């Protein structure tokens, strides 16, 4: 399973105004658990996105923004959990 299959926020391209459209979201507990499983992480504690989608040339869409996450992964040396932001 890939991140695109786990975490998706579709936007109808025909509704994007010339000025762009802003979208903010926070991953649900189920989405975070599925992402952790898909990427072999101990835990995804949080995942948020603040994005702007705007119309590009020839029907394309440009998406800019920031995605942030707090995760826990296993250290490859000590096998202890390591927190990352």
For residue 42, what pLDDT is reported?
A: 97
For residue 8, what are its two tokens?
């998706």
Any idea where the domains of the chain sit in the sequence?
A: 3-84
Percent of the chain with pLDDT over 70: 95
Q: Which residue matches tokens 């995804």?
A: 44
Segment 40-73, tens digit of pLDDT: 999 999 999 999 999 888 878 899 999 999 999 9
For residue 24, what are its two tokens?
């903010």
For residue 4, what pLDDT is reported?
A: 63
Q: Is the pLDDT of residue 1 over 70?
A: no
DSSP string, 9-57: ----GGG--TT-EEEEEE--HHHHHHHHHHHT-SEEEEEEEEEEEEE-G
Q: What rounded mean pLDDT belongs to the chain?
A: 91
């Amino acid at each position: 399973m890939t991140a695109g299959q786990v975490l998706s926020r579709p936007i109808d391209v025909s509704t994007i105004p010339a000025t762009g459209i802003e979208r903010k979201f926070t991953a649900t507990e189920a989405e975070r658990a599925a992402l952790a499983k898909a990427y072999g992480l101990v835990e995804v504690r949080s995942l948020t996105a603040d994005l702007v989608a705007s119309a590009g040339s020839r029907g394309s869409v440009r998406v800019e923004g920031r995605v942030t996450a707090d995760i826990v992964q296993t250290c490859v040396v000590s096998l202890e959990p390591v927190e990352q932001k």
